[in-house]
A and B are shown apart, each in its own frame.
Chain A
Amino acid sequence: MLNSIKPKGRTVFLYLLVPVVFFVFTVFVPLVTAFVYSFFEWKGGPKKTFIGIDNYVQLFHDATFWQSFGHNIYLVIACLIGQIGIAFIMVMIVNSKVVKLKGIHRTFGFFPSTISAVCLGLIWNMIYHNQYGIINWFLRLIGRDDLCKVWLNEPKLVMLLVSIPLIWQYIGYYMVIILSAISSIDTEIFESAEIDGANGVQRALYITLPLIKNTMLVCITLCVAGNMKAFDNIFVMTKGGPGTASMVMAMYGYQISFNQSNMGYGSCISVGIFVLAMLVIGGSQALVKLLTREKEA
């Protein structure tokens, strides 16, 4: 090794110092702090009381927390089906030879994913609004005034309604990722399949899908991780309401910590989110790997 590639230890140390300190201070210090404070009763004031694992016992029996965890899972599943499923179908359609303006579809489709979740939440609030919303406008237009309602106040519907903007926002994102994976496949494969008499659907399922397996795995990971951290949309659209009908974990942690200023329990929830999110992300990857392996065998 020459000097240029094996510099003095001091030089490397100085170069790395700032980024590493930056990173450790913002990621690992809070993580450890949260873990420590999760054993304290602490209402945000100067007084902290060590209470052992009481917070964790409370968390374990906290129906709202588990309900919000369930909502995170709901979002994950809805978005896996909605975002990646629809994206795959759209890719198959956009990629077919008869479709024109592919570039425009790509540019427009990707566009929503570049807009902030706050803006989109506000826009969808307008769409759902009972008086000035587009949905109710449409219902009135077709003479079904009876179906008009304050959409986001329906506890049974609210999770579906908040997942629609999320799904809509990222269809184009996954569509573009899948498109780029497909464009790297040799077109001869498709041509020979066509000669062998495979129709569009067969080609999609038995040729395209297996060939872009790795990309699909990336998409699934992104989708799962993205929905475990759902917060912005929910905060803007419903703040977890009505009641706790659309509460997600991050939102619940925020409410406990800042609205009730229960920092000790809030820290405990943060640790809970950390553990559960890691488990779900890891679990989903293991599951997908297992499933795809079986298919090959």
Chain B
Amino acid sequence: MSTHTQAVAKPHPIRKGILTVVLNFICIVFSLTCIFPIIWMFYSSLKEKRVFNADIVGLPKNPTLINYIRILGNSDYHLGESMMNSVRTTGLSIILIVLFSFIVGYILARVRFKLNRPLYVMFLMGMLIPIHSLLVPIYVVFKKCGISDQWYTLLLPYVSFALPMGIFLVEGYVKSIPVSLEEAAAIDGSGFSYTLWHIILPICKPILVTVAIIQIFSCWNEFSFALVLMKNVHLQTVPLALTQFKGQFASDYPKQMAAMLITMSPIVVLYFVFSKQIIEGMVAGAVKG
């Protein structure tokens, strides 16, 4: 707050005071509504069902971990299993997305060949295609090829749908690197692959991190394709497991909340530890993509 602008605007001190209080109040209310649900879920998950049903908003008087113990202790709920599936699917997807985006983005930015522009347009179209119109068709094709309901099934849609944005971010980034760098490398006897992996890759690290950040969240949270493609309860991902959990415990809210918090925990921790980088990455992805 600079004294210079205050002197110019000269607002009435009381009016300014009220304005300060009101504006801060609005912001605080807004922030609270954004995190209230998760706080409510957290302390409610420490209640037993009976206690919760008697008083849904109050803080727990005798906090208990019984819900967590019951959920994690019973393998019929597949919660641990689905967490592992989500971790594997997300992890592998991210690796492939970053790898493919990097390779294709670099080649499209630098290498001249006849199919360069057609490929570029093809990936551009991938960004425009409303992917939810593919829900049913992908099921049909995957079923026919016998690749639905496998541990690797979800990698295909997750990687493919993330590729266009990744490629464009990398392509734009590579174009900002001076070509002289690669020319110098070539003079020193570096081949295409060596330049790609040892010179360009380290430079592209920031943009690849951005791509990974954006996609971690969308892969972990993706629901509709998992719903359609995965029928095997032992292979289902977290969001899918949660919807089934809801069916089993329609009226046991504390248990549902405990389950949700467990499955959210990796994302929540990741978010609050790296929130600055994540927000920046998401904004970059949204605006440039």
Contact = CB atoms under 8 A, between A and B. Distances in A.
B260 A194 contact: no
A206 interface: no
B219 to A, nearest CB: 10
A194 B138 contact: no
Interface string B28-40: 1011111101101
A30 interface: yes
Nearest to A180: B283
A281 B128 contact: yes
B143 to A, nearest CB: 9
Contact of B100 (A5, A22, A97, A111): A22
Nearest to A215: B287
A18 B279 contact: no
B16 interface: yes
B2 to A, nearest CB: 8
B286 A30 contact: no
B190 interface: yes
B8 A195 contact: yes
Contacts of B263: 119
Interface string A1-37: 1111111110110011011101111110111011001
Contacts of B228: 254, 258
Nearest to A225: B130
Main SS class of interface, B: helix
Interface stretch (A54-62, A88-96, A147-155): A88-96
A33 B268 CA distance: 39
B8 A273 contact: no
Contacts of B160: 22-23, 25-27
Q: Which of A5, A90, A118, A131 gathers the greatest number of chain B CB atoms within 10 Å? A: A118
Contacts of A16: 103-104, 107, 119
A122 B241 CA distance: 12
B167 to A, nearest CB: 8
Contacts of B14: none
Contacts of A131: 53
A90 B23 CA distance: 10
A60 to B, nearest CB: 17
Interface stretch (A63-71, A76-84, A229-237, A286-294): A229-237
Given A16-B103, A110-B279, A116 B27 contact: no
B130 A228 contact: yes
Contact of A2 (B138, B187, B279, B282): B187
Nearest to B111: A12
Interface in B219-242: 220-224, 227-228, 238-239, 242
A123 B218 CA distance: 19
A2 B191 CA distance: 10
A250 B138 CA distance: 13
B190 A222 contact: no
A4 B23 contact: no
A133 B279 CA distance: 32
B129 interface: yes
B107 A15 contact: yes
A257 interface: yes
Given A97-B1, A98-B23, 19 more contacts: A2-B182, A3-B192, A22-B156, A23-B123, A26-B160, A98-B24, A108-B34, A108-B35, A111-B38, A112-B37, A115-B221, A120-B37, A137-B56, A168-B33, A176-B279, A194-B5, A231-B135, A270-B134, A274-B129
18 contacts: A4-B183, A25-B156, A25-B160, A26-B138, A27-B161, A31-B137, A34-B134, A34-B136, A94-B27, A110-B282, A115-B221, A118-B242, A120-B37, A122-B242, A131-B53, A177-B283, A273-B132, A277-B132
